[in-house]
Amino acid sequence: MKRVSRILVVSAVSAALTAGSATAVVAQGSDAPAAAVVAPVGTQVSRGTVVSVEHLRTLTARQAAAELTGDEAGAWDTGAVRYGLDTFRIVYRTVDPYGRPTTASGLLALPRSGERRLRAVSFTHGTELFKGDVASVSAEVWDQAPALTYASAGFAAVLPDYLGMGLGPGPQAWMDVPSETTAALDMLRASRTVAARKGRELRHGVLVTGFSQGASAALGLARSLQEGADGWFRLRGVAPVSGAYAFRDAALPALLAGRTDPKASVIYTALFLVAFNRLHHLYDTPAQVFRAPYDRTIEGLLDGTHTGQEVVAGTPDSLDALLTVRGRAMLAHPAGRLAAALRVTDGVCTDWVPRAPVRLYYADGDEQAVNANTAYCHAALRAHGVDAPLVDLGTPDYGGSRHLGSQQAATAAVVRWFRTLR
């Protein structure tokens, strides 16, 4: 189904893409209906424990290639397609931003390669506003393409939905790198369990990538793996794409100065304030930072139950119409709790020294995640003695967006690089 006006990423509004649907992916090509395996109620479980697993689809290599090339917004590269694959929706145990037990969901795609031991690729997605616009729920090619690309190339593709997205309870903890990291790590653990039930083994070394919001999440997961957060998995390589790595010094100034797509700027600014207020208490009432009438509607509009199309329709076209003087000043000169939160968000490039190979992918003139973000990350890593090559993707286009185009172009480039690291 053609989409209209959907925000897909930390940085992306595209009127050529569409409003999401909550329609779940159904099993295709399997001999039996999708079945769930559920953990017994009341059992003592730990992080990464599988709550349920449901087989969604079986695709041949030809079917996977046809799906990738059939995207109305632009065909995906199929040069790495070798195998058919199976996809599974997993619900698993994890923790919320306060360390309390909760659940999250994600998609696992396993290649029909005949190989028993598989290298895992963790892909963390860009910003989604609607809970159903994630790979474990949505059938859209945009959401499925990374899983299809990596699995058909022979990898186990592991795609966490993040907290509050997919089948996860509550609102999403947007750009909260610590909880994105725990959700991604616990999805890897759950995927290892599910793979073992299918007679497969996920190898120790994990290849980590992510786009836009997911680029920061990928670096958070990479750091966690390198620091030994899991007894089995280790970092093998990391390839973030078009991230907002420097929220304080690059992303926010670009939004406020009008150097990004105007409508995207409005929605990301609103999402930023609402999400960070939930975790860090930046304001007492919405009216302190949002102008009327949006002060009465914006928090409800961004609760995950509204489609991108609804959010586009329910927000103004300029930051001046959205923000109060206090709201703009808060973003222009972060202090107190906000400054502390941004130090954590922006620490993905500054507070560790990767020992595994790193490549930073970006598109020239990205209209959503300005290139200053990537330059900032590259400089920070180089200051630590890390050689992190910049990979210029040129000016790719997906539905009229270079930012979205960078995910499509990078997926083809990253899978080729990852195959050299296996």
- In the prediction, which pLDDT does 15 show? 35
Strands (E) located in 112-233:
117-124, 156-160, 201-211
Query: DSSP assignment of 78-143, as one string?
Result: -TT----EEEEEEEEEEE-TTS-EEEEEEEEEEE-SS-SEEEEEEEE----SSTT-STTT---HHH
CATH topology of domain 247-344: 434 Repressor (Amino-terminal Domain) (1.10.260)
Residues 148, 60: contact at Cβ < 8 Å?
no
- In the prediction, which pLDDT does 36 show? 36
More confident residue, 125 or 34: 125
- In the prediction, which pLDDT does 16 show? 29
More confident residue, 12 or 390: 390
Mean pLDDT, the chain, whole residue set: 91
> What pLDDT band is residue 422 in, cutting at 50, 70 and 90?
confident
- In the prediction, which pLDDT does 35 show? 35
Q: Check: pTM over 0.85? Answer yes or no.
A: yes
- In the prediction, which pLDDT does 18 show? 30
Kindly tell me if the per-residue pLDDT of 45 is higher than 80.
no
The CA distance from 127 to 118, in Å, is 28
Kindly tell me if the per-residue pLDDT of 39 is higher than 90.
no
> What pLDDT band is residue 30 in, cutting at 50, 70 and 90?
very low
- In the prediction, which pLDDT does 301 show? 97
Kindly tell me if the per-residue pLDDT of 66 is higher than 70.
yes
Kindly tell me if the per-residue pLDDT of 33 is higher than 60.
no
pLDDT in tens, 124-142: 999 999 999 999 999 999 9
Kindly tell me if the per-residue pLDDT of 97 is higher than 80.
yes
The CA distance from 369 to 268, in Å, is 11
- What the block records as the tokens of 42 is 């009341």
Give me the phi and psi of 147, to 5 degrees please: -65, -45
Give residue limits of the domains in the chain: 6-245+356-421, 247-344
The CA distance from 322 to 315, in Å, is 8
pLDDT in tens, 298-325: 999 999 999 999 999 999 999 999 999 9
Query: Which helix (H) or strand (E) is 13 found in, with range?
Result: strand 12-14
> What pLDDT band is residue 10 in, cutting at 50, 70 and 90?
very low
CATH code for the part of the protein at 6-245+356-421: 3.40.50.1820
Kindly tell me if the per-residue pLDDT of 71 is higher than 90.
yes
- What the block records as the tokens of 305 is 């139950």
pLDDT in tens, 208-267: 999 999 999 999 999 999 999 999 999 999 999 999 999 999 999 999 999 999 999 999
Give me the phi and psi of 22, to 5 degrees please: -90, 10
Kindly tell me if the per-residue pLDDT of 13 is higher than 90.
no
